Amino acid sequence: MNCIRSLEFIEKISRKYGKFGLKTVLVHPPEWEFERYKKNILPALKMHGIRFPVIIDKNKKIIKKLGINFWPTQILIRDGKIVYKHAGEGSYKKLEGSIARFLKIRPKKLFAEEPKHSKYPAVYCGRRKNGKIRKLSKILKFGMVYALGKFSQKSEFLQLPKNSAITILTRGKVINFVAGSFGSKPARAGIIMNDRIIGTVSIKNPGLYKLVESGKNRQNKLTIAPRSGMKIYSFFFQ
């Protein structure tokens, strides 16, 4: 989600400065095992409208050579040398200024001040990302995942069979999650917000899915109730 949120600003910069000689390339180091394969990456590129050249850094060799251990990271390379680096989201105004300086141009800038972006932390479900799984209780804490029924916490995801459920506290106007089906058939789940059923979600390929979008930036209680086997990796908020 951090990379998706950052993409909006990178696209704006690329459109403006591409005509002056800026070339934009995305390096994709997989966060999850399923992100190592083109069959899962290509649908995601199409869904998000990504048209930049993409290098799949399956074993993270490229980012290690570039000294990157967190992404997104913005890097400017000129004549084979790194001339600017910023780890994490933000600093888009500084990135634009560096691009203009190295291209030796003085156009009207995109960002008069640093653009705002959401900074909500993700909620993870698997052991590798230290997912905190608890039994459902009356008092909920943000960052915890509360589970009902038979479930199994794996390295990357929480495996949920039919007739199970998980509940979390959410933040922001948009709620996303990374999920996949357990088995060859698509998975479906009911979406319950603040104890009210608001819809369903269907999962075919593993990836990032938008669950809820509302006009109000507030904390809510979200429950996902699978109607067939489902893997849930994480939740992200905007």
Q: Which amino acid is at 134?
A: R
Full strand arrangement of the beta sheet holding 187-193: 133-135, 145-148, 165-170, 220-226, 187-193, 196-203
pLDDT of 149 > 80? The answer is yes
The token pair that represents 198 in the structure block: 């608001």
* Mean pLDDT taken over the chain: 92
pLDDT of 102 > 80? The answer is yes
Q: Residue 34 forms beta bridges with which residues?
A: none
Q: Residue 158 forms beta bridges with which residues?
A: 153, 232
Domains defined for the chain, CATH in brackets: 2-103 (3.40.30.10), 123-237 (2.60.120.260)
Within the chain, residue ranges assigned H as helices are 2-17, 38-47, 61-65, 92-103
Mean pLDDT to the nearest integer, 56-74: 93
Mean pLDDT to the nearest integer, 81-96: 94
Give pLDDT, residue 1: 81
Residue carrying structure tokens 């804490």? 141
pLDDT of 182 > 90? The answer is no
Residue 82's pLDDT band, with cuts at 50, 70 and 90, is: very high
- Residue 201 C-beta-side C-alpha neighbours within 13 Å: 26
